[in-house]
Structures are given as C-alpha cells and as structure tokens.
Amino acid sequence: MTDAVIQIDKLNKIYHMGEMDLHILKNVSVAVKRGEMVAIMGASGSGKTTLMNIIGCMDRPTDGSYTLDGEEISTVKPDRLAFIRNKKFGFVFQSFNLLARTTAQENVELPLLYWNRIPSKEREHRALDSLTRVGLADRVNHHPSQLSGGQQQRVAIARALVNQPQILLADEPTGNLDSKSEKEVMGIFHDLHKAGLTVILVTHNQEIADHAERTIRIRDGIIQEGTG
C-alpha cells in the first residue's frame, strides 16, 4: 500500500499505573490513505483517544511500528515529534481550546510561532486566509468569548489549517455544538476533504462517523473493523 500516509502495524500501548498495567491498545494495525476521510469510532475507554494521540504524535506506542509519510515515528526524539505535529497535523478538539482574551486572528497564528521564521505581516496574511476559508473573515478581531460555539470551532479549524497540514485530526469536533453548528463544521470538513486533505474524525457518534468514507471501529483496544 504505497499511498498510505499512515501505516500502523501491530501496535501496543501499555500504561503502567502503579502495580497495574493497563493494556490500552492491543496489536492494532491500521492504514489510512492519502486524501481519505476516516472516522475512528468507539465507546469511551475503548482506546480510540489513545490511538488518536499516537497518530497525532502526542504519544508514543509501547511497541509496534507507526510509519507516517514513510518515516518511522515510534522511535524519534520528542523535539522531532513536536516538529511533525507542527508541520503535518492540524488538531481540532472537542472543547476548541482557544486562548481566552486573544483575538481569533492571534489564535490562528499560534502554530506559525513555532518552527517557523515568518514575518508578522505574512503571519497575519496567512491567518486571515485561513479564517476566510472557514467563513470567518469578518470575525478576525473577536475574542472567543464574543463568538458562538460553532464560530469558535471554526476558528479552531482555521488554526489547524494555517500551517497547511496534510492531516486534520478532529477529536469529537461537534461534541459541544448544536445541530446547526454541527452541520456547518461537518460541511467544512467535507470541503477540506474535497480539497485533498486527509481527515480523521474521532467520535462515538454514529451520525458523525457516517460522514466519513470509512469507519474504523475499536473496542477494548482491539480493532473490530476497518483496518484498511
């Protein structure tokens, strides 16, 4: 499978909690193709969040192999992981995670502050581009508290897009939204998918998962279907 951007083989994740070992992911193998829109589904405690953290280079597997874009990730140094997070991923969280008392513009610029030497004019320009892409060009100087939940999540998506990542990782992106905002946000994900981005949705909601081309179901740390 040469066009797989994410290739995970026989991956295990074990947490040591004092005396107990928690075996969160058991022999997981998953592949995601470039440009795919995939949903990872499972109940809470199923290990889907841990899998997402490992895919997003926030966490490292205990053993097994994870190849991203041809690079073996499971053994690289923390600084390299930070670099990969910055360049290849855009993160969207359930709770938006926008900085309070900070304008939408500045929130979106945040990823450009690291690993980049971009003049502030160029940063502003790219942040504005990104906000325009999610339809918030007129909310540039608003603080998160002045925006609706849906708008806040769109700012978060703009932030995820600003560094032109290959993969968009969304963790319950509509979990805190009403149905109208949910529609808007999912619409944006579809648009981005059409534009060629790889989109990974992590959810426990079947309706959201139905937006994806393919669903990977995980239960008790074992992939039930959709290994790919």
What distance, in Å, lies between the first and last C-alpha atoms of the chain? 10
Tokens at residue 116, please? 């980049």
Integer Cα distance of 156 and 149 in angstroms: 11
Q: What is the smallest separation between the CB atom of 71 and another protein, expressed in angstroms?
A: 16
91 is a contact residue toward another protein (CB under 8 A):
yes
Six-digit token pair at 112? 């450009």
- Which DSSP category does 225 fall into? E
Q: Which listed range, 3-11, 32-40, 92-100, 201-209, lies at the site for another protein (CB under 8 A)?
A: 92-100
Residue carrying the six token digits 């971009």: 118
* Smallest separation (angstroms) from another protein to the CB of 225: 26
HSE-CB of 223 using CA atoms within 13 angstroms:
19
Q: Does the footprint of another protein cover residue 15 (CB under 8 A)?
A: no
- 13: contact with another protein by CB under 8 A: no
Task: Please tell me whether residue 76 binds another protein under the rule CB under 8 A.
Answer: no
* Other beta carbons less than 10 A from residue 34's beta carbon: 15
33/60 with CB nearer another protein: 60
Nearest residue to 126 via CA among 85, 161, 171, 170: 161
Does 141 sit near another protein (CB under 8 A)? no
Distance CA 220, CA 165 (A): 30
Stretch that binds another protein, among 39-47, 52-60, 174-182, 210-218 (CB under 8 A): 52-60
Our finding on whether 78 is near another protein (CB under 8 A) is: yes
Is 101 near another protein (CB under 8 A)? yes
83 binds another protein (CB under 8 A): yes
Span interacting with another protein, options 19-27, 77-85, 132-140, 186-194, rule CB under 8 A? 77-85
The tokens describing 142, both together, are: 């608003």
Q: Which of 43, 99, 137, 195 binds another protein (CB under 8 A)?
A: 99
Total residues at the site for another protein (CB under 8 A)? 24
Rounded CA-CA distance 71/207 in Å is 33
Q: Name every residue whose Cβ is closer than 8 Å to that of residue 154 and which is 6 or more positions away in sequence.
A: 134, 135, 136, 184, 185, 188
Given 29, 53, 176, 205, the residue binding another protein (CB under 8 A): 53
- Residue 43 found at the interface with another protein (CB under 8 A): no
**Position 95, amino acid:** S
Which residues contribute to the site for another protein (CB under 8 A)?
Answer: 53, 56, 58-59, 78-79, 82-83, 85-87, 91, 93, 97, 99, 101, 110-111, 113-115, 117, 159, 163
